Amino acid sequence: MIIKLNPRYLLKMVGCFVVLLASFTAASQTHDIVISVTPQAHQNYKQLINDKPCIDVNHYLQKPVYRGSLELLIICKALTLGGIKPHFIFKTVPNYSRALLETQKGHVAIMGESVWLKNIDTTKLWQTAPIFKSGEYIKGFYTTHSQLAFIESQIKKSQLTKKPTLNVIQTLTVASSNNWVFDWQLLNALDLTVINVPTTQSMCEMIKHNRANVILTDLMMSGSKDILYHCADTVFYPVKGVKITFKQTRHFVVSKQHPTSVVVHQALQTGLAQLRAQGDLAKMFFPETANAALVNNWEDLGTNLDVFF
């Protein structure tokens, strides 16, 4: 007896077989993966892993720990847990916008940092589950030690007189960039005085030389017990008692132009779920666990700004 199979069914079966074969092959050998990286994140990542397999790096209270280096570590760990042994081929990019463009064009397989949901073109990119769920990504205002005492004293005075903390922040000059679209919208929505500066290094230099007061940057993923930020050969301190929580999620993305994009995306998804379930992500968000509770009690200036996020 001759059995005739529908050609569409045959094509579907062949496609499934190819994906399964690719998955098996990827899991059984080292996988070259081109990934975007900024120079500073690359340097910090190399110091962080110190020539060890990324899966063995579990200590995050050290100077190279910032979001840039930790997100690269998370990607590496997730791929490993998902069945792929990654060998990263780093492609240097100057900033977030360029990294996203390179990934959309397929010049890199994975963008080396998380991406705002609104920036993801799903016709060109696979997105993972959120690396930062709504409300998990937090930024704070950082300044030099010489300016910190005065700013915090003003905040304490406002709290004693039951005036909004925002009134104090509105007296400060913030160094930021209009290329950081969500930060820029938020700062302007809060009616703050903002100076447009092209690079983070230049922002820090301005604050260092008292030409601006604060920079808005990550209040998490800090390798310092005191949540310090190192920039322009200067130590910056968080203004205690105030934060901004972002409502929009951030995700990792894989270029659909990459020949094994489906396999890489699936491995990344599997590994991220495992990292979250076993508490590794929470540990990386706040390496000093006491800081999670501390920051949780700070006033959130972004509470009523959902429209932007």
Q: How does pLDDT run across 134-174, given as a tens digit for each residue?
A: 999 999 999 999 999 999 999 999 989 989 999 999 999 99
Distance separating alpha carbons of residues 305 and 296, to the nearest angstrom: 18
**What pLDDT, on the 0 to 100 scale, is given for residue 6?**
58
pTM above 0.85, yes or no: yes
Same structural domain, 40 and 88: yes
* Residue at token pair 């105030």: 242
82: containing domain: 28-133+250-278
**What pLDDT, on the 0 to 100 scale, is given for residue 5?**
52
Same structural domain, 228 and 169: yes
Residue 149 burial class via C-beta count within 10 angstroms: exposed 0-12, middle 13-18, buried 19 and up: exposed
Same structural domain, 56 and 44: yes
Same structural domain, 79 and 214: no
The answer to whether residue 83 sits within a structural domain is: yes
Same structural domain, 272 and 304: no
**What average pLDDT does the segment 39-52 reach?**
95
The answer to whether residue 11 sits within a structural domain is: no
Distance of CA 91 to the CA centre of its chain: 18
Same structural domain, 186 and 299: yes
* Domain count for the chain: 2
Same structural domain, 37 and 144: no
pLDDT in tens, 249-283: 999 999 999 888 999 999 999 999 999 999 999 99
**What average pLDDT does the segment 84-97 reach?**
95
Residues ≥6 apart with Cβ < 8 Å to 127 = 115, 117, 120, 251, 252, 253
- Residue 229, SS3 per DSSP: strand
The answer to whether residue 9 sits within a structural domain is: no
**What pLDDT, on the 0 to 100 scale, is given for residue 7?**
54
pLDDT in tens, 165-198: 999 999 999 999 998 988 999 999 999 999 999 9
Same structural domain, 98 and 123: yes
CATH number of the domain that residue 110 is part of: 3.40.190.10
Same structural domain, 109 and 171: no
Distance separating alpha carbons of residues 299 and 81, to the nearest angstrom: 37
